[in-house]
């Protein structure tokens, strides 16, 4: 999040059709103008301009603008890298947002994905609690929110979080089965986090028969398309598996990856990469000094349908039954 100088902020406010009143508040030409300025400032990371504009849109805007303004306000306060971080306020805003949109149709492509993401945010707060407002941890309620987002809205992030919940503790056999089902389906759909998590399970032989070749091939697929905010932990797994794998295992994994790419990969549109090239990242190495060649997607975003698979392709659908 970037901090403006007062002069620059005033210039941008004026350019957006808003004026500063004598009491220091900002007045907007219309609720629509406030929404447009707030959303633009949010996307650019200028939260000090986004907040009052989005508050204006949330209070006076048209129904759909009000919907998005409320969501992005909550996102601003939940941002740990922001000077405006306020998790108590974020929790309250997300809860109000979810309560006010409980009747959203899961087929509503405009609204449903945002309600699902708000449910995931609430689940995170309920899992750990929010000390600022005295909110105690409530893991069961957190799981309820994730299940709603995962099943009713079909949100992949929620499905992945549920998989980790089911596989992360001393759950029942049914919990493990559910977790592996989500993980396997997401893996076949090209979800990098699930591919990395499943790779780690294959490497350690947990819940599945140990398979170092499949583990390395999976983590290769994951690391190449990992979004920026997931790269550190996914590359940690890649480093552990690659450095521990023999040359024979590496060659066999190369063959698997080549087949998977040929069968299931779909190149992203040329415009997605913007011609910027890969961003600089710390170079990784094994304990013996061998440098890791990590193939990253330079956009930091997974291409659409990057690895679409089927039970006959990756062969993970029966994983949880072993």
On the question of pLDDT at 6 being above 70, the answer is no
User: Can you give the pLDDT at residue 118?
Assistant: 98
* 296 within some domain: no
Residue with tokens 């999976």: 218
User: Can you give the pLDDT at residue 291?
Assistant: 83
Decide which of 86 and 24 is more confident: 86
User: Can you give the pLDDT at residue 314?
Assistant: 55
Instruction: Please state the rounded mean pLDDT for residues 182-194.
Output: 94
Q: Give tens-digit pLDDT for 200-223.
A: 999 999 999 999 999 999 999 999
On the question of pLDDT at 281 being above 50, the answer is yes
* 214 within some domain: no
* 109 within some domain: no
Residue 190, φ and ψ in degrees, nearest 5? 85, 25
Interatomic CA distance for residues 250 and 256, integer angstroms: 10
User: Can you give the pLDDT at residue 111?
Assistant: 96
- Each residue of 262-272: b (16+ CB within 10 Å) or e? eebbeebeeee
**What's 151's DSSP letter?**
I
* 116 within some domain: no
How many folded domains does the chain comprise? 1
On the question of pLDDT at 126 being above 80, the answer is yes
Residue with tokens 């390395």: 216
Instruction: Please state the rounded mean pLDDT for residues 107-113.
Output: 95
Instruction: Please state the rounded mean pLDDT for residues 192-200.
Output: 96
On the question of pLDDT at 153 being above 70, the answer is yes
Sequence-distant (≥ 6) Cβ neighbours of residue 4 within 8 angstroms: 12, 46, 48, 49
Q: Give tens-digit pLDDT for 13-62.
A: 444 555 555 445 678 999 999 999 999 999 999 999 999 999 999 999 99
User: Can you give the pLDDT at residue 57?
Assistant: 97
* 25 within some domain: yes
Of 158, 206, 203, which is closest to residue 182 (Cα–Cα)?
Answer: 158
Q: Which two tokens stand for residue 184?
A: 């396997």
User: Can you give the pLDDT at residue 262?
Assistant: 72
* 80 within some domain: yes
Interatomic CA distance for residues 322 and 309, integer angstroms: 20
Decide which of 318 and 184 is more confident: 184
Instruction: Please state the rounded mean pLDDT for residues 159-175.
Output: 87
Interatomic CA distance for residues 90 and 74, integer angstroms: 5
On the question of pLDDT at 198 being above 90, the answer is yes
Residue 18, φ and ψ in degrees, nearest 5? -110, 155
User: Can you give the pLDDT at residue 246?
Assistant: 95
On the question of pLDDT at 236 being above 60, the answer is yes
Max mean pLDDT among 145-154, 251-260, 284-293 falls in: 145-154
Q: Which two tokens stand for residue 6?
A: 């007062």
Identify the domain containing residue 38 by its residue range.
Answer: 1-84
Give the confidence band of 298 by pLDDT, cuts at 50, 70, 90: very low
Class of residue 92 by CB neighbours under 10 A (exposed 0-12, middle 13-18, buried 19+): middle
* 55 within some domain: yes
CA distances from 107 to 70, 112, 115, 119 (A): 21, 7, 12, 16
Instruction: Please state the rounded mean pLDDT for residues 286-311.
Output: 55
User: Can you give the pLDDT at residue 316?
Assistant: 53
Residue 130, φ and ψ in degrees, nearest 5? -130, 100
Instruction: Please state the rounded mean pLDDT for residues 159-186.
Output: 90
User: Can you give the pLDDT at residue 259?
Assistant: 87
Interatomic CA distance for residues 301 and 244, integer angstroms: 28
For residue 144, give the H/E element and its range.
helix 139-147
């Amino acid at each position: 999040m970037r901090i403006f100088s007062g002069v620059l902020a005033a210039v941008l406010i004026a350019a957006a059709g808003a004026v500063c009143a004598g009491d220091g508040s900002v007045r907007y030409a219309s609720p629509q103008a406030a929404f447009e300025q707030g959303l633009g400032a949010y996307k650019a990371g200028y939260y000090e301009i986004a907040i009052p504009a989005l508050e204006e849109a949330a209070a006076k805007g048209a129904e759909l603008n009000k919907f998005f303004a409320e969501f992005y306000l909550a996102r601003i306060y939940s941002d740990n890298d922001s000077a405006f971080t306020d998790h108590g306020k974020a929790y309250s805003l997300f809860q109000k947002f979810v309560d006010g949109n409980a009747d959203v149709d899961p087929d509503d492509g405009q609204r449903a994905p945002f309600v699902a993401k708000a449910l995931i945010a609430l689940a995170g707060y309920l899992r750990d609690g929010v000390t600022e407002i005295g909110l105690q941890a409530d893991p069961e309620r957190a799981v309820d929110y994730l299940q709603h987002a995962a099943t009713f809205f079909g949100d992949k992030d929620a499905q992945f979080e549920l998989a980790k919940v089911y596989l992360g503790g001393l759950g029942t056999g049914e919990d493990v089965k559910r977790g592996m089902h989500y993980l396997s389906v997401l893996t076949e759909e090209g979800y990098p986090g699930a591919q990395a998590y499943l790779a780690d399970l294959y490497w350690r032989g947990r819940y599945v028969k140990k398979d170092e070749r499949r583990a390395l091939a999976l983590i290769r697929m994951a690391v190449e398309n990992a979004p920026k905010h997931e790269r550190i932990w996914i590359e940690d797994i890649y480093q552990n598996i690659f450095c521990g794998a023999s040359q024979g295992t590496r060659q066999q994994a190369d063959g698997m990856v080549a087949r998977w790419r040929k069968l299931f990969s779909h190149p992203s549109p040329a415009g997605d990469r913007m011609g910027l090239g890969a961003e600089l990242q710390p170079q990784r190495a094994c304990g013996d000094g061998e440098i890791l060649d990590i193939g990253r997607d330079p956009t930091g975003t997974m291409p659409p349908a990057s690895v679409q698979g089927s039970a006959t392709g990756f062969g993970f659908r029966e994983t949880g039954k072993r």
